[in-house]
Amino acid sequence: MSTLEELTALTGELGHPVLVTAPDSAGRFPDGSRYKVEIPSCEGPAVMEAVLDEAAARGVRIDRVSQGSGVMMLTDAEIERMVALGAQHDIEVCLFLGPRSAWDIGGQTKVSAAVGAAARGNAAVAASLGDAERAVRLGVRSLLVGDIGVLQLLGDMKRGGRMPADLVLKTSVLMPLGNGPTAALYEQIGATSLNISTDLTVAQIAEMRAVTTSPIDMYVEVPDDQGGSVRFYDVPEVVRVAAPVYLKLGLRNAPNIYPAGQHLGATPSLLGRERVRRAELVLRLLAELAPDLAATPSLVAR
């Protein structure tokens, strides 16, 4: 039986040491910034317009919006409008792919959220690829992927020239990502933006940064169904060790709105506005606690 010291030594020999202290990350986005802001659950053009309006009013720079209901829940005109808004405001628009197990006829997802975003059967994989091709045809260059097999196939399609070389493949928080080897694997098969598990320590995040170069996406306020943590005071350390990192603002005490639509009234837009307000709170705190890390301002008019 190996001792704990022997086991940790083994992972180090294999290229994944267990970290106790977390070193500074030298990684940056292409523009030199350590962090950017992502607003999730931006479920269509009306929500995106509300988010942009709130961001302008509060002076909060938004770098990415992501959507959770999926490409199949948007019309062509809605996708094209979101793409146009993204181009106008220099914002990455990321759309979720495909049918998922949580909406399928199977029973496992009724008792375990861990498989909720998986593609159930090869037909669901094909549908996810169909969503990807449709979104790309309509101008989308960022896709949110919830299934590891779909991720690998999309990575293969990019490498083979069947998908744009600049296509962002962003893993979903529903794809468990809690350690360095898994992060390295996701990146190896095609991920270019890594949405990490929501409950990791700063040292555990640094372990993933040590073996990857892709931006990390991290919920700093976590939806209830993903743990419900509010980690505003962790943000300076997260930026320090995880850069380049997207600070992603979910909401506690908020309804699950997937799949969104007109039947939900103003709720998705109001949630989007509150996520922008949360971003303002996080950015103020970061500037106050660690002005050196906030040297690339995110509280700017856009």
pLDDT at residue number 276: 97
Q: Over its length of 302 residues, how does the chain's per-residue pLDDT go in tens digits? A: 566 577 677 788 888 877 777 889 999 999 999 999 999 999 999 999 999 999 999 999 999 999 999 999 999 999 999 999 999 999 999 999 988 777 777 766 665 555 667 888 999 999 999 999 999 999 999 999 999 999 999 999 999 999 999 999 999 998 989 999 999 999 999 999 999 999 999 999 999 999 999 999 999 998 878 877 889 989 999 999 999 999 999 999 888 888 888 898 898 899 999 999 999 999 999 998 888 887 654 443 33
Give which of 233, 248, 170 is closest to 202, Cα–Cα: 233
Closest residue by Cα to residue 96 from 188, 47, 169: 169
Give dist(CA 294, CA 54) in Å, integer. Answer: 21
Cβ neighbours around 42 below 10 Å, total: 32
Q: Are 101 and 44 in contact (CB under 8 A)?
A: no
User: Starting at the edge strand that comes first in sequence, how are the strands of the sheet with 194-195 ordered?
Assistant: 168-171, 142-145, 92-96, 64-66, 35-39, 245-249, 216-221, 194-195
- DSSP H or E run through 258: none
The tokens describing 218, both together, are: 């991290």
Query: Closest by alpha carbon to 272, among 89, 34, 100, 60?
Result: 60
List domains and CATH numbers for the chain: 33-289 (3.20.20.70)
The predicted pLDDT at position 186 comes to 97
The sign of the dihedral angle between the CA atoms of 124, 118, 193, 234 is: positive
Q: Which residues contact 140 (CB under 8 A, 6 or more apart)?
A: 71, 79, 83, 93, 95
